[in-house]
Amino acid sequence: MFFIRQLLLFLTISFLFTNVTLASTLLVMGDSLSAAYNLRQEAGWVSLLKNQLSKDNREIKVINASVSGETSQGGLSRFGPLLSEYQPSWVILELGANDALRGYPLEQTANNIEQMIEQAHQANASVLLIGNKIPQNYGKRYTDMFFKLYEKIADKYTLAYVPFMLEGVALNKSLMQDDGLHPNKDGQPFVLQNILPHLQPLLDEHKGH
């Protein structure tokens, strides 16, 4: 009888442990574009992503570590501890726009992003890199170089890559806030639709392992 009780206890613990580990984690590292700037959190594209994953019956925990105003350097300084704490299977990396808006050297931004990618890979996490654009008033040469920076990094590390998360949104005033930089509530679903086609293959790839 004692043996049976011990066996049942072992099976129960094993079942609970298995169900706990079924839920993989997706970590979002971004700035105000991913932090639902000036909106309720549930209106932001990351929260909409959580809802979509739940509808798709994907056992994925989404951690939004995005911070408004964040630079690539700030993200890099926080990234290691977040990797250790959450041990994500996937990382969505959306940083760098604030670097460009402040005129930081592009080499510095690229180096910070690359360090985060390498740390994620060392932690066995797949990375989706999200590119961005800045207003043309910063000069065509600088804005073009900034936009191409993400493509170069994606090619270097063979990453899944979203060239511009605000495609079809940024120039539509009805989808943007008055500052012209951040999507409003109506624009957030369109942002998610720009990201999902690049994210879903990564999720499916992990599922097949």
The rounded distance, in Å, linking the Cα atoms of 192 and 141 is 29
- pLDDT digit string, tens, across residues 52-90: 999 999 999 999 999 999 999 999 999 999 999 999 999
What is the pLDDT averaged over residues 6-32? Answer: 66
Residue 96's nearest CA partner among 116, 73, 117 is 73
Is residue 182 annotated as part of the catalytic site, yes or no? yes
The rounded distance, in Å, linking the Cα atoms of 130 and 94 is 5
The rounded distance, in Å, linking the Cα atoms of 147 and 150 is 6
Q: Which residue has the tokens 């442990």?
A: 17
Average predicted confidence (pLDDT) for the chain? 90
What is the pLDDT averaged over residues 119-124? Answer: 98
Tell me 182's DSSP state. Answer: S
Determine which one of 32, 34, 47, 72 is catalytic: 32
pLDDT at 17: 46
Residue 95's nearest CA partner among 80, 118, 76, 122 is 76
Q: What does the block give as tokens for 43?
A: 């209106």
Determine which one of 174, 178, 179, 209 is catalytic: 179
Predicted confidence band at 9 (pLDDT cuts at 50, 70, 90)? Answer: low
- pLDDT digit string, tens, across residues 184-198: 999 999 999 999 999
Q: What does the block give as tokens for 114?
A: 């690359």
Q: Would you say residue 16 has pLDDT above 50?
A: no
- Of 6-10, 38-42, 167-171, least confident by mean pLDDT is 6-10
Determine which one of 31, 89, 182, 198 is catalytic: 182
Predicted confidence band at 115 (pLDDT cuts at 50, 70, 90)? Answer: very high
pLDDT at 209: 43
Is residue 84 annotated as part of the catalytic site, yes or no? no
Q: Would you say residue 7 has pLDDT above 70?
A: no
